[in-house]
Amino acid sequence: MTQFQEKATVTRRELLSSDNVRLTFQSAKIASAAEPGQFVMIRVGAGKDPLLRRPFSIHQATAEGTLQIYFKVVGRGTAMLAGIREGDEVSILGPLGRGFQLTDSPVCLVGGGLGIAPMLFLATRLGERRSGQIHGRVLLGGRTRMEVEPLLGDFEQTGFPVLVATDDGSFGQRGFVTAIFSTLDLPPDCTVYCCGPEPMMASMAVLSRERHLHCQVSVESAMACGMGACLGCSRTARNGEYVHVCLDGPVFDAEDMAWTF
Amino acid sequence: MTQFQEKATVTRRELLSSDNVRLTFQSAKIASAAEPGQFVMIRVGAGKDPLLRRPFSIHQATAEGTLQIYFKVVGRGTAMLAGIREGDEVSILGPLGRGFQLTDSPVCLVGGGLGIAPMLFLATRLGERRSGQIHGRVLLGGRTRMEVEPLLGDFEQTGFPVLVATDDGSFGQRGFVTAIFSTLDLPPDCTVYCCGPEPMMASMAVLSRERHLHCQVSVESAMACGMGACLGCSRTARNGEYVHVCLDGPVFDAEDMAWTF
Amino acid sequence: MDLLNPTPPHPDLRVSIGPLSLANPVMTASGTFGYAQEFETLMNLRRLGAIIVKGISLHPRAGNPPPRIVESACGMLNAIGLQNVGVQRFIEEKLPYLGGLGVPIIVNILGDSIDEYREITERLAESSVVSAIEVNISCPNVKKGGVAFGSDPLMAAAVTGVVKEKAAVPVIVKLSPNVTDVTLIARAVAEAGADAVSLINTLIGMAIDLKRRRPALANVFGGLSGPAIKPVALRMVYQVAKSVQIPVIGIGGIESAEDALEFMLAGATAVQIGTANFVNPRASEDVVDGIGAYVIEEGLTSIREMIGALEIC
Amino acid sequence: MDLLNPTPPHPDLRVSIGPLSLANPVMTASGTFGYAQEFETLMNLRRLGAIIVKGISLHPRAGNPPPRIVESACGMLNAIGLQNVGVQRFIEEKLPYLGGLGVPIIVNILGDSIDEYREITERLAESSVVSAIEVNISCPNVKKGGVAFGSDPLMAAAVTGVVKEKAAVPVIVKLSPNVTDVTLIARAVAEAGADAVSLINTLIGMAIDLKRRRPALANVFGGLSGPAIKPVALRMVYQVAKSVQIPVIGIGGIESAEDALEFMLAGATAVQIGTANFVNPRASEDVVDGIGAYVIEEGLTSIREMIGALEIC
Ligand SMILES: Cc1cc2nc3c(=O)[nH]c(=O)nc-3n(C[C@H](O)[C@H](O)[C@H](O)COP(=O)(O)OP(=O)(O)OC[C@H]3O[C@@H](n4cnc5c(N)ncnc54)[C@H](O)[C@@H]3O)c2cc1C
Ligand SMILES: Cc1cc2nc3c(=O)[nH]c(=O)nc-3n(C[C@H](O)[C@H](O)[C@H](O)COP(=O)(O)OP(=O)(O)OC[C@H]3O[C@@H](n4cnc5c(N)ncnc54)[C@H](O)[C@@H]3O)c2cc1C
Ligand SMILES: Cc1cc2nc3c(=O)[nH]c(=O)nc-3n(C[C@H](O)[C@H](O)[C@H](O)COP(=O)(O)O)c2cc1C
Ligand SMILES: Cc1cc2nc3c(=O)[nH]c(=O)nc-3n(C[C@H](O)[C@H](O)[C@H](O)COP(=O)(O)O)c2cc1C
Ligand code: FES
Ligand code: FES
């Protein structure tokens, strides 16, 4: 698995809501090698502080070298990245990690909050495999309208029907996206793909197990290197052993992970 | 002596040569309190690195609140400051230190390299005191044309005749500005004001002493606080004692300092 | 009470350092705040919990030759060499101004010998303006005294003993981080009667000027301070707070209210703001504001609830 | 020679760590470079002076529970807890790849007891791929072993002695900075036969998550690394290089050729790149390039001219 450290130019900066930013890079090598569910590590500044790169799921990638990330400003690093301008250059390391296992069977993609990020690339690739014959759905959840609506069009273009829930009911159904999932009639060979806040993924793991559905989740952890060198990104697996999110993941079988409620 | 910590807006950014930048700020309190020879301490970034403020002479200041600095990119901090854009805000601390003692007698201002910076504000104030009746000269030295020419017009506006020397002869006389000084016919009550590289100031101290002229120099040292709190900015005085550049200076009698050649 | 215009809530920020009561836990660290007057136009000095002044010795000291400071990654090195006006001039020239501020004044002292510590304490005992003495046994910059006192439990206890014997006010002993086990020193000075300990002083460091192939500081070594050292400081404060019964004052890289609150969670009763004063001369007042706001937002009855409240699972 | 196309100058970057000759003084620090293969597509591993692998113990270790890392100002804290595959699997699974690189491979070892150090050394002695052993007596993350060996001169000498006795290759002892006087430990291990010392390992630190009011690391304490610690590392390297006759390997916050050259001026014969590998996976190769360029620009006959060349006035 070849990885690259690339100086990538920001070709587009979209402020999708007050906190949520989408950046498009020209990053030929990384974009063309990327698979859905993989991530990149980005240097957010030129100085020594913040020191470490920040991990972001690959939101979209094309063979032509276009790479996108979609993120929320939660701290210093993301604030610096949000302040970047078109034409600026950043150092990107990737593609990293083990992505989603793609399938030709029916699928259900569930993205909550910023967990929506990797779902677009996944939906695009799954849609391409299915050309015409769509067996699947995309479920998007957010706290409020602005966390979902700006991305709706992109998801609809993948060909999958999209269902939406927001906590405040300002867009789509009121409530959690897991509630929509519970009411859906899914075939037994349906694969569930999920990324979102921990409690949501924990629920999705339980709900999928109850329905005997195979569920893949994309999880997070603190990371220093993103490439298996520091052993810092461990998480506890169901069997009590430690797995490393950057190497063994970020995508895991929901069954294999330990979840706290 | 009142000092201020002010959030100042960058109203103009001039790239006067490949390395030399002039920034104009709207900084009402500091600009209106400033005296020639004083300096400011500027935070060059928002993060913790580089940690300390950077000191810059006040290049120009008006009662209306316009403050200018003129600096060379020599390291990380100045590079960051040079990358600033009009409309950005920075934190400025000032006005700091003891400036030049102004006089109504004849004067000779000698600025070398970035030592030209404080001379403009000084020439402006001295020019104002003299309205019409100019007894004095400004001598500007640089390595090459681009270090001097862009500022020439501003100095000429102060009313003083300006003489120029460049190391490479690309502008004005070839050689050091001290050579021009040596050839000048100066009255015995002439005050010499000088700022520039250490060897130049050391020479000016000797040349002034030989001619029994009172010479004031603006010197530098490493600084942390700029306001007398850390005692870090010491320099050795002629009597062997330590003086503090931010508090006792940056302007000193050339006679009072120890010079190394 | 006017229900439409209720008085803004007054967070209870009071803490006690042994017998010394402070309006809030925020102090300025010795050597980073001059003699306080330098900051008078830039902040409200009366808002501070206490002011700690530049270290004072028996006789005036000229300090080290320049260069004395150099920046490092997220920090700085200093080798001021304890330049100060000496206790006599300090009492005559600096204390009157400080006494007028209405804020507890803590005098940081240093000596080359036990006798010097004793003598300077005696001199300070005559002043009614001094609220406490902070004993610097840790400064790494001078060859004699400093290092030895701070790294040997017996010596540290001996200094504490004589200062305590002569002092009319509470005695805080300031610990060096340049030791294998800081809790050993802390316990020794606590047993010797210290009313509180403060830590950390600077880590010994060095910087090199590659162009000149020389040390960046004339003194070769200097003390590292600033955000870079915060993790070491937090660890030592936590360890010492677990080892002694007396109050602990946290120092090291504190720039914000969040930093200060972290030190309190780790067990600090109060904190000192050092290098941050250079970056933001209002830093100490900003920290007072910030912890006040935190107490209100979190609905705490007092900031004292934070002291040592770290949960370990 | 073709005068129009002269071959580019080949700077002489060779250095020796005791009997071990290196093409250049740049190594990767243990625990920050995995088992090297992780970096193979991101840089040219063959350009390195040596590769030091993640610390190996006698038996596999699972390491500490998460969270294991947290960022700090210009640095990071880690509490990996020495997770590793154990010496057996290391020899079977990792060494063959490493052996094919044609670069000296240095194995970092750790143990909870003198016996473990002995046994692991014996196991490694069977391999022809291992060029040297680096003995970690300093890791602050595990309760047993680590700290004790590294902070006591007698224990440090004892470990050195057994490893030296069993080792078929040069032995480097890696020193902890969490001690009052690092030169005492350095002298002790030098007398016990160490072929070189490397320093520094991480400073013990701590971080707190204010929101959760808990330590940021599950292990509470962690090792501080990165640019933040460089001044402490440089100081200790300088002190140790003045105190022992054996080569010193400098570690701590090195990110660039300039940093590396500063450590060499301070007395280091070689350097290790640690945390910088995470920020820039090509950091170690960049340092090799940079010091090569420096040797040429400055007209040095060899990089060895830089070792200990600091001028003190
Ligand atoms: C594999 C992976 C993929 C990710 N993909 C995305 C993505 O597509 N879009 C997106 O917005 N975010 C994503 N994240 C999270 C993102 O990396 C963090 O939000 C970012 O690192 C925070 O940096 P900061 O400097 O702004 O925050 P900091 O100042 O470092 O921290 C601010 C706050 O964020 C929390 N935080 C820090 N790091 C993380 C983390 N890794 N996960 C969760 N919380 C964290 C801290 O606890 C703190 O409360 C991903 C994380 C991982 C590990
Ligand atoms: C009172 C005072 C007034 C000044 N006025 C001006 C001015 O008007 N215009 C201007 O261009 N510069 C001025 N300087 C110098 C200016 O402060 C430095 O150039 C600046 O701090 C360098 O910051 P940096 O982060 O870019 O460099 P760093 O990365 O910190 O250092 C880069 C290089 O610059 C050298 N350097 C760092 N600080 C100083 C310093 N204080 N003096 C000399 N060399 C230094 C370092 O040794 C190093 O070689 C003044 C300095 C003082 C003390
Ligand atoms: C320039 C400077 C001078 C200092 N002088 C003293 C001193 O005289 N006495 C003392 O006990 N500590 C002195 N210190 C140490 C500080 O009080 C404080 O313990 C240390 O800087 C760590 O805190 P910080 O990281 O917030 O700066 C000095 C620190 C600096 C930076
Ligand atoms: C994530 C991580 C893991 C480490 N693991 C080890 C180890 O297994 N053995 C060891 O001797 N040092 C270990 N270290 C210490 C480094 O080798 C090095 O001494 C230290 O990080 C200082 O160098 P730096 O500032 O360049 O990172 C580790 C450091 C980090 C950051
Ligand atoms: S982040 Fe370093 S091993 Fe996963
Ligand atoms: S710079 Fe701090 S006293 Fe002058």
Residues of C marked as catalytic: 139
Please list the alpha-helical segments (H only) found in B56-116.
76-82
pLDDT tens readout for residues A89-115: 999 999 999 999 999 889 999 999 999
Examine the domain organization and report whether A132 and A34 are in the same domain.
no
B250 prior amide bond cis, ω within 30? yes
Examine the domain organization and report whether B88 and B111 are in the same domain.
no
The last residue of a domain, from among B96, B116, B141: B96
| Per-residue pLDDT at D4 | 58
Is B239 part of a structural domain of the chain? yes
Query: pLDDT grade, residue C5 (50/70/90)?
Result: low
- Secondary structure class of A6 (helix, strand, coil): strand
User: What secondary structure letter does DSSP report for D223?
Assistant: E
Q: Strand C75-78 and strand C69-72: pairing?
A: antiparallel
- Catalytic residue, chosen from D17, D22, D91, D139, is D139
| Per-residue pLDDT at C140 | 46
Residues with C-beta less than 6 Å from any ligand 3 atom: B 230, 232; C 29-32, 54-55, 78, 80, 82, 108, 136, 139, 174, 201-202, 225-226, 229, 251-254, 274-276
Spatial neighbors of C5 by CB under 8 A, at least 6 apart, are: none
User: What is the full DSSP assignment across C10-56?
Assistant: -----EEETTEEESSSEEEPTTSSTTSGGGTTTS-GGG-SEEEEEEE
pTM of the model: 0.96
Is B48 part of a structural domain of the chain? yes
DSSP H/E element including C125? helix C114-125
Q: Which residue of A has its CA nearest to B44?
A: A47
- Whether residue C232 and residue D203 make contact (CB cut-off 8 A), yes or no, is yes
| Per-residue pLDDT at A135 | 82
Spatial neighbors of B29 by CB under 8 A, at least 6 apart, are: B4, B6, B65
Ligand 6 closest atom vs CA B231 = 3
Query: pLDDT grade, residue C143 (50/70/90)?
Result: very low
D231 prior amide bond cis, ω within 30? no
Residues B111, B103: Cα–Cα separation, whole Å: 18
Instruction: Establish if B85 touches chain A: CB-CB under 8 angstroms.
Output: no
- Proximal ligand: closest to the CA of B247: 6
Find out whether the beta carbon of B231 lies less than 6 Å from any atom of ligand 6: yes
Is A261 part of a structural domain of the chain? no
Which residues in chain B have Cβ-Cβ distances shorter than 8 Å to C78? 224, 230, 232
Whether the CB-CB separation of A90 and A8 falls below 8 Å is answered with: yes
Whether the CB-CB separation of B176 and B141 falls below 8 Å is answered with: yes
- Whether residue B76 and residue A47 make contact (CB cut-off 8 A), yes or no, is yes
Closest to A25 in 3D by CA, of A77, A99, A81: A81
User: What is the full DSSP assignment across A157-206?
Assistant: TTT--EEEEETTSSSSEES-HHHHHHH----TTPEEEEES-HHHHHHHHH
| Partner-chain residue, chosen from C207, C227, C232, that has the shortest CB–CB distance to D231 | C207
Residues B54, B43: Cα–Cα separation, whole Å: 7
Residues B246, B93: Cα–Cα separation, whole Å: 12
Inter-chain Cβ pairs, chain A and chain C, closer than 8 A? 5
For D15-63+81-204+223-306, CATH number out of 3.20.20.70, 1.10.10.10, 1.25.10.10, 3.40.50.1100 equals 3.20.20.70
Is B102 part of a structural domain of the chain? no
Say how many Å lie between the CA of residue C144 and the centre of ligand 5: 46
Say how many Å lie between the CA of residue D92 and the centre of ligand 4: 24
Angle, vertex CA A149, rays to CA A147 and CA A155, nearest 5: 105
**pLDDT-above-90 percentage for chain B:** 89
Say how many Å lie between the CA of residue C135 and the centre of ligand 6: 24
The contacts found for D98-101 with CB under 8 angstroms, 24 or more apart, are: D98/D35, D98/D36, D98/D51, D98/D53, D98/D129, D99/D128, D99/D129, D101/D36, D101/D45, D101/D46, D101/D51
Asked whether the predicted pLDDT for residue C142 surpasses 60, the reply is no
Structure tokens at D298: 């400055």
Asked whether the predicted pLDDT for residue B199 surpasses 50, the reply is yes
* Interface residues on B facing C, Cβ-Cβ cutoff 8 A: 1-5, 43, 48-53, 91, 93, 221-236, 241-242
Is A233 part of a structural domain of the chain? yes
Each domain of chain C, given as residue ranges in start order, spans 15-63+81-204+223-306
Total tally of structural domains belonging to chain B: 2
| Per-residue pLDDT at C3 | 56
Asked whether the predicted pLDDT for residue D1 surpasses 50, the reply is no
Spatial neighbors of B9 by CB under 8 A, at least 6 apart, are: B25, B26, B87, B88, B89
Whether the CB-CB separation of D243 and D186 falls below 8 Å is answered with: yes
Residue with tokens 């971080």: D207
Rg over alpha carbons for chain D, rounded to the nearest Å, is: 19
Examine the domain organization and report whether B115 and B17 are in the same domain.
no
Looking at every residue in chain D, the average pLDDT score rounds to 93
A197 prior amide bond cis, ω within 30? no
Interface of C with B in 272-291 (CB under 8 A): 275, 277-282
| Per-residue pLDDT at D142 | 46
Instruction: Establish if A85 touches chain B: CB-CB under 8 angstroms.
Output: no
Q: Which letter, b or e, does each residue of C101-127 get, where b requires 16 or more Cβ atoms within 10 Å of its Cβ? A: bebbbbbbbbbbebebbbbbbbbbeeb
Examine the domain organization and report whether B123 and B213 are in the same domain.
yes
pLDDT tens readout for residues C222-274: 999 999 999 999 999 999 999 999 999 999 999 999 999 999 999 999 999 99
Examine the domain organization and report whether A238 and A119 are in the same domain.
yes
Asked whether the predicted pLDDT for residue C9 surpasses 70, the reply is no
Q: Which letter, b or e, does each residue of D115-149 get, where b requires 16 or more Cβ atoms within 10 Å of its Cβ? A: ebbbbbbbbbeebebbbbbbbbbbbbbbeebbbeb
Examine the domain organization and report whether B26 and B116 are in the same domain.
no
pLDDT tens readout for residues D32-73: 999 999 999 999 999 999 999 999 999 999 999 999 999 999
Closest to B115 in 3D by CA, of B151, B140, B84: B140
Residues with C-beta less than 6 Å from any ligand 4 atom: A 230, 232; D 29-32, 54-55, 78, 80, 82, 108, 136, 139, 174, 201-202, 225-226, 229, 251-254, 274-276
Residue A184: domain span: 107-256
| Per-residue pLDDT at B132 | 62
- Proximal ligand: closest to the CA of D83: 4
Residues B233, D85: Cα–Cα separation, whole Å: 53
Say how many Å lie between the CA of residue C201 and the centre of ligand 4: 25
Angle, vertex CA C128, rays to CA C124 and CA C130, nearest 5: 55
Average confidence (pLDDT) over C210-223: 96
Residue nearest to atom 1 of ligand 3 (CA): B230
Closest to C229 in 3D by CA, of D80, B223, D72, D141: D72
Q: Subunits that touch chain A (at least 3 Cβ pairs < 8 angstroms)?
A: B, C, D
**Cβ neighbourhood burial of A38 (10 Å; 0-12, 13-18, 19+):** buried
3-state secondary structure D77-141: EECCCCCECHHHHHHHHHHHHHHCCCCCEEEEECCCCHHHHHHHHHHHHCCCCEEEEEEECCCCC
D312 vs A221, more confident? A221
Asked whether the predicted pLDDT for residue C6 surpasses 60, the reply is no
Strand partners, A235: A243
Least confident among B132-146, C226-240, D181-195: B132-146
Is A17 part of a structural domain of the chain? yes
- Proximal ligand: closest to the CA of B221: 2
Looking at every residue in chain C, the average pLDDT score rounds to 93
CATH code of the domain in which A66 resides: 2.40.30.10
Please list the alpha-helical segments (H only) found in chain B.
28-33, 76-82, 117-130, 149-156, 177-183, 198-210
Examine the domain organization and report whether A92 and A120 are in the same domain.
no
Structure tokens at C214: 């020389």
Distance of CA A194 to the CA centre of its chain: 9
DSSP H/E element including D284? helix D283-297
Find out whether the beta carbon of B134 lies less than 6 Å from any atom of ligand 6: no
* pLDDT in 10s for each residue of chain A, 261 residues: 799 999 999 999 999 998 999 999 999 999 999 999 999 999 998 889 999 999 999 999 999 999 999 999 999 999 999 999 999 999 999 999 999 999 988 999 999 999 999 999 999 999 888 766 668 999 999 999 999 999 999 999 998 999 999 999 999 999 999 999 999 989 999 999 999 999 999 999 999 999 999 999 999 999 999 999 999 999 999 999 999 999 999 999 999 999 887
| Partner-chain residue, chosen from C34, C41, C279, that has the shortest CB–CB distance to B52 | C279
Examine the domain organization and report whether A91 and A126 are in the same domain.
no
pLDDT tens readout for residues B4-18: 999 999 999 999 998
Ligand 5 site-directed mutation target among A98, A227, A242, most atoms within 8 Å of CB: A227
The last residue of a domain, from among A42, A76, A96: A96
| Per-residue pLDDT at B128 | 87
Angle, vertex CA D265, rays to CA B223 and CA A230, nearest 5: 85
- Whether residue A229 and residue D278 make contact (CB cut-off 8 A), yes or no, is yes
Residue nearest to atom 15 of ligand 4 (CA): D201
Least confident among B13-27, C196-210, D126-140, D252-266: D126-140
Is B250 part of a structural domain of the chain? yes
Q: Which amino acid is at B188?
A: P
Distances (CA, A) of A198 to A205, A260, B40: 10, 8, 49
Q: Which residue of C has its CA nearest to B231?
A: C80
Strand partners, D132: D106
**pLDDT-above-70 percentage for chain D:** 94
Structure tokens at B221: 């040292």
Is A101 part of a structural domain of the chain? no
Say how many Å lie between the CA of residue C70 and the centre of ligand 2: 12
Looking at the predicted complex, does its ipTM rise above 0.90?
A: yes
Spatial neighbors of D116 by CB under 8 A, at least 6 apart, are: D57, D58, D145
Closest to A44 in 3D by CA, of A35, A34, A54: A54
